[in-house]
Amino acid sequence: MNTKPSAGPQATIEFRAVTYGLFRSSSQTIVSNISLTIEPGETLVLLGRSGSGKTTLLRLINRMLAPSAGQIFVEGRSTSDWDPILLRRHIGYVIQEAGLFPHFTVAQNVGLVPDLENWEVSRIRARVKEMLELVGLDPSEYSLRKPRELSGGQRQRVGVARALAADPPILLMDEPFGALDPVTRTELQREFRALAHRLDKTIVFVTHDLREALVLASRIVLLQSGQIVADAPPGEFLKIDHPEVRAFTASLATTGGAAS
């Protein structure tokens, strides 16, 4: 575990002694005294059971939530100093069920952030085409469809395309493949892993599925009751001697072994 505060500007995301939910009685899970440095290009998977605080950590990064104590730095600047609107346009975000706008076409959904950023129409159109191709959807077939005319897997692909459209250096993903059938999920995990390698983004990925974490992560951070209990690359993660790690490893065994 190497969590020395690097403080250098190269750290993309850094939590410094972050606590959330100290004084408020919100439904959001409490996290306490989290310190974590996420380097550029990492695919960091936040693993944990429901209620362990992984989504809370994710939402602290783009200031959908504000910490009760401590600070989060994005590209060296505290999120409280960022204009939240600019911060969020700088960070891609994908959630379960994609959260696509039902009244927008696929092209309008994908082009949303470029449009908010006032790109020229022709540039947006080219970018949308490029993004759809990137996620494996034929633009001529899918551009003008509405989200309801897509399968779950296709919607999720559009969700990824939308998150990447403005070319943000950081991508946050909250169980994006959680609602998909196992076959589609595996397919998208494989494709997304290849995509992540090519794109060189810093990715923070939330899941409760250890197998998914092993497929995608360059580093796995395990949360339990709002605290980090393990932090290791996938290869070493399984060897960690901690009851919560063993609990997750056991879940792996009962569901038929790790994916390749």
Partner 1 sequence: MSSRWEFLSSHRSEIFSATLDHLTLVVIAMVVAILIAVPLGMLIVQRPMLRRMALGIASVFQTIPSLALFGFLIPVPFIGGIGRRTAIVALVLYAILPILRNTYVGLTVIDPAILESAEAMGMTQSQILWRVRLPLALAVILAGIRTATVITIGVATIAAAIGAGGLGTFIFRGVAMVNDAVILAGAIPAAVLALLADFLLALVERRLRIA
Q: Strand 69-74 relative to strand 43-48: parallel, antiparallel, unpaired?
A: unpaired
14, two tokens: 């850094």
Given 4, 24, 27, 148, the residue binding partner 1 (CB under 8 A): 148
Q: Is 162 in the site for partner 1 (CB under 8 A)?
A: yes
Site string for partner 1, 108-137 (x = CB under 8 A): ----xx--x---------------------
**Cβ at position 181, least distance to partner 1 in Å:** 19
- Based on CB atoms, which residue is closest to partner 1, 44 or 58? 58
CB within 8 Å of 195: residues ≥ 6 apart: 134, 135, 160
72, two tokens: 């989060």
- Based on CB atoms, which residue is closest to partner 1, 119 or 249? 119
Binders of partner 1: how many residues, by CB under 8 A? 27
- Based on CB atoms, which residue is closest to partner 1, 81 or 138? 81
| Helix (H/G/I), strand (E/B), else coil: 9 | coil
Site string for partner 1, 60-99 (x = CB under 8 A): --x-x-------------------xxxxxxxx-x-xxxxx
- Based on CB atoms, which residue is closest to partner 1, 148 or 198? 148
Given 7, 22, 101, 233, the residue binding partner 1 (CB under 8 A): 101
Residue burial 75-90, b: 16+ Cβ < 10 Å; e: rest: beeebeebeeeebbbb
Stretch touching partner 1 by CB under 8 A, among 101-109, 182-190, 194-202, 241-249: 101-109
Between CA 202 and CA 230 the distance in angstroms is 20
Question: CA 172, 155, 46 angle in degrees (round to 5)?
Answer: 25
CA atoms 63, 12, 115, 149: torsion sign: negative
Between CA 133 and CA 137 the distance in angstroms is 5
Binding site for partner 1 (CB under 8 A): 62, 64, 84-91, 93, 95-103, 112-113, 116, 146, 148, 162, 172
